Structure 1
Amino acid sequence: MASQEKDMKHDHTEIHAIHHEVLGDKETLSHAYEAENREHEMGLWEAFKTYPWACFWAFLMCFTIVMESFDMFLCGSWPALGAFQRKYGIMIAEGKFAIPTKWQSALFQSGQCGAFVGVFLAGPITNRIGYRLTTVCGLVLMILTIFVSFFANSLPLLVVGQALEGVPWGLFIANSPAYASEIVPLVLRSSAAATLQMSWSIGAMLVAAATYSYSHRMDQWAWRVPIALQWVFPIPLLVLVWLSPESPWWLIRRGRKEEALRSIKRLGSKRQGNNEETLAMMERTVEIEAHAGGEPKLTDLFKGTDLRRTLITCFMYASQNFAGNLIANQATFFFEQAGMSSEFAFKLNLINTSLGLVANIASLPLAGSLGRRTIYLWGTAFNATMLFTLGVCASVKQTQSTNYAQACLGVIISFVYAGTLGPISYSIISETSSVRLRALSTGMGRAAYYVCEIPMIYLASNLLNPTGWNLAGKCGYVWGGTATICWLVAYFYLPELKDRSYRELDILFNRKAPARQFKKTVIDVKDND
């Protein structure tokens, strides 16, 4: 016990060893000023050329989300597979089967329940061993848990398999946006975090292609082969993540200055010669935050100005469930309920996910040029309008034209989400929290996502399922209403984070600047409050 206490004291001393004199060192502060001014002046293309490896490693870490996306959309497609319906469903008409609503919800919810556990594990583990090793552990766990789902021969065992797979998802989704935003310069932060949504779309597109290819089979391989395809991702990712540099911000917080400098050098190009200045800028910000609280704890998220930042992060994650995303997650099933044939529904979902990837790619320069707040408000407003239109279209007398109109509206809603709300949410999430609490904050935010999503999945399944409320496109009224609420909350409480360094954001939150004044408030490069 005495030895353990001694080790803890040593760790605490190590964490703060390099921070106690930074703000009093004029040379270090001068370097920090230069680095921060340089980041503000750097253009998008210049930043990409200067930090190509940072962009690569950020995308690689975000690409781990492809596994959660793949499995979530795979679960959403199972109720639409004829072979799966016949194996596990109940007969609702002559020759027609459907998965009972409770099992459809359970399959979709179980992975989220596992991820809910994972996001709470992510913060403490990452603070202890870093982003890189935490992700490596998650990938190993992912490889092992896929076995349960692949060999499952009943719905209960499938549910268990999905729950186990969810635990590493939680590690990935909590760490990816935080790591990506920490290793790239200011102008690239939004684009780097937005690639997480691109990975989500890639996973959805791969599932759409796999399920369409096997949708004609009427045996167990119609769903087992797509499950097995999940093993394609973790092994190469495991090798690459093992080779990736640790976040220099995390290394500085642990007092490992030399390793942080090496990491900064690995993230830039060979022509980049301002590494010491970048290190000084990071040291300065870490020391300012260290004065506010020392060793990060989960309870710190709910104290002082960090409570406001935590609420914004939780809101951004939770709001992803309320503006049409749940329709996108069960797109194939939605298209069937809108009146499309099973085969055409799978084809349309492939088109839908491909368009989503196009929207993600188009959003990258958009996120770097327009404000986060602007993109979120306009995207939410448009989708709310489309969702209400979907509800109206489903309420009139149904014909082939109204069926196709509902399907088209579903594609438009998914496209707009993939180009605005989805990617910009991750940008806001990765920038809002303080550097000191980032690993804990992103985990807490994602937990809020699952707290909202799990009951929403039950609601969405009942809204669409013929064994439930069978409302089909009329669910647009429900999601249109929730999207409107999200817009109102964001209008009054979501600040503009574009072009702000982490130090400037700390100061703005500490000064309790109103959300709509963030963009106008001037912060001097020498301010340390």
Structure 2
Amino acid sequence: MSTVEREKDKLDADLHVENAAPLALTDAQGHKADAIEAENAEHSMTVLQAVKAYPWACFWAFVMSFTIIMESYDVFLIGNFIALPAFTHDYGVWDPLTSKNVIVPRWQSALQMAGQLGALIGVFLAGPLTSRIGYRWATMVGLVLMNATIFVMFFANSLPLFFVGQLLEGLPWGIFIANAPAYCSEIVPLRLRAPATQVLQLFWAVGSIIVGAVTYVYNSKEGKVAYRIPIALQWIFPLPLMVLMFMAPESPWWLVRKNRDQQAMRSIERLGRKSQLNSAEVVSMMRRVVEMEASTKAPNYIELFKGTDLRRTLIVCGIYAGQNLAGNLIANQAVYFFEQAGMTTNFAFALGLITSALQSVAVMLSWFLTTYFGRRTIYLWGTGFNIVMLVCLGIAASVHPSSGASYAQAVFGLIVSVFFAFAAAPVSWCIIAETSAIRLRPLTTGIGRASYYIIEIPCIFLGSYMLNPTGANLGGKCGYVWGGTALFCWIVAFFFLPEMKGRSYREIDIMFKRRLPARKWKKTEIDVQDDE
């Protein structure tokens, strides 16, 4: 090559470098402009417009939420078995105080906590599994496990085997409960995050309704059929859900995290109407947030306890743990609670079914509540009301025993259960889904749910001991205990729970990084150009 040719090549290379930088800058600016356009579009949507733009996202959130029915069904089922005459006849001991068979407190507690112990293991498996293979495939793995583990419960013929069956069923519960709120919040636009995640509480109530109806029918039956058929009905759910989840789109946020932007665009187009959204702009919005959270390391549990992610983890863990400390255990043991309050077995089962039905209505009404009020506002007022009702429950149980006092306890117990499903419970799912960083979401929701089970397991022992006639036999006086724990939750939430209503994931990331106190979130404005 001649000297002249070498000089020409060098000049061309210099010109290429000079032109490349402005082109790269222009391309980056274009992506940011697209991201801003998509975020502004989500902010400007009303709830109805969001439903019209993303109809299939609503459907797939509904399908994913359906997995929660399986945990709810089994949690309430084993709780109802404790009051089921055929079950207590086969596995209980004679109690001269009540003149009937009862499950002794240690087994009563063990059976109710076995599934939670399995789920505690399951949620730790769910985070790494979902981060690696995605929400769809991780959920399908859980459904296969669910199908298999039901066999152990169905053929169990002793309390230890029922314990093992519950423990194994808990493993897929952990996968479902960790994945569902994260997936639902990631496939819908900003305006639908609250109702999409609150559907989880609706299906929790639906599961209890199904159990209430089934056990109400079978509570008068004699023999093993009274509890074997309710167990077998669990097989209704996994196979249809496996088929639906196989057809479901993967979370576009998860695909963007995996640098699969083209697949993310196709997923968005499957979730919404092409005529009402620009999938390229939506992916740019997601890419902007993912790059803000970018790290050279693979997501791991240690990160959850470092820097600003520690604060986010503590909020998620606190909200999850609080579900067990603000009256939820009375709802989970409703039938047994009503029996201990003095109701007949048939009436207790009927009240349990009514409670579950009212909880479903309450959850649907809560969708309208979260449209107009903030998450923090609803949580504080809802928990505050339940504190008052729990104290009233304790007072009703402290007066001279009478039919009036028994009915008063039943009414206050019902109010606590229903109002929990109207305010604090459904809004908790929304807070949990919004608080975690996109990059660490599967891990955060998993460890958050783990805190739920870690608190629930000793609370189940305490709750069973307080209600059981062979234990403390407190009856409605347990309202004093749960009222005190609910007050603790209210105080912590007042000081540390920020308001995230109407905030994009970018804005939430920025506000956590700026370490804003919880009380300042509602009035703080974040410029649409800000990236940190």
* Residue in structure 2 matching 1:187, options 185, 191, 216: 191
Give the alignment of 1:53-452 within 5 angstroms: 53-93=56-96, 95-291=99-295, 294-452=297-455
CA change 1:22–1:282 in 2 (3 A) is farther
Distance 1:446 1:143 in 2: 22
184-193 vs 87-96, greater mean Cα deviation: 87-96
Shift of 1:272: 2.3
Question: Is there any run of 5+ residues in structure 1 with no aligned partner, and where?
Answer: 1-20
Matched AA of 1:184: V
- 1:457 partnered with 2:460: yes
Q: Tell me if structure 2 keeps the 8 A contact 1:464–1:471.
A: yes
Superposed CA deviations along residues 165-200 of structure 1, whole A, max 9, x for unmatched, are: 000000000000000000000011011111000010
Distance 1:202 1:269 in 2: 30
Shift of 1:270: 4.1
282-291 vs 454-463, greater mean Cα deviation: 282-291
Shift of 1:34: 0.6
TM-score (ref. length: structure 2): 0.94
Which has more radius of gyration? 2
- Secondary structure of the residue that 1:290 maps to in structure 2? coil
Taking only the aligned residue pairs, the percentage that are identical comes to 58
- Secondary structure of the residue that 2:275 maps to in structure 1? coil
Matched AA of 1:72: V
CA root-mean-square deviation: 1.1
CA change 1:523–1:22 in 2 (3 A) is farther
TM-score (ref. length: structure 1): 0.95
Shift of 1:365: 2.0
Distance 2:475 2:247 in 1: 47
270-279 vs 503-512, greater mean Cα deviation: 270-279
Shift of 1:79: 1.1
Shift of 1:271: 2.5
Shift of 1:95: 4.9
Q: Tell me if structure 2 keeps the 8 A contact 1:23–1:29.
A: no
Distance 1:112 1:22 in 2: 52
CA change 1:386–1:255 in 2 (3 A) is same
* Residue in structure 2 matching 1:30, options 33, 55, 72: 33
Q: Tell me if structure 2 keeps the 8 A contact 1:123–1:440.
A: yes
Q: Tell me if structure 2 keeps the 8 A contact 1:246–1:263.
A: yes
Superposed CA deviations along residues 393-438 of structure 1, whole A, max 9, x for unmatched, are: 0000011111111101111111100111111001000000100000
- Secondary structure of the residue that 1:97 maps to in structure 2? strand
Matched AA of 1:393: A
Matched AA of 1:358: V
Matched AA of 2:52: K
Matched AA of 1:101: P
Matched AA of 1:97: N
Question: Is there any run of 5+ residues in structure 2 with no aligned partner, and where?
Answer: 1-23
Q: Tell me if structure 1 keeps the 8 A contact 2:53–2:277.
A: no
Distance 1:315 1:56 in 2: 30
Matched with 2:484 is 481
86-95 vs 338-347, greater mean Cα deviation: 86-95
Matched AA of 1:266: R
Superposed CA deviations along residues 317-351 of structure 1, whole A, max 9, x for unmatched, are: 00000111000000000000000000000011110
Distance 2:357 2:394 in 1: 25
Q: Tell me if structure 2 keeps the 8 A contact 1:22–1:29.
A: no
Distance 2:338 2:51 in 1: 40
Shift of 1:276: 1.1
Shift of 1:294: 4.2
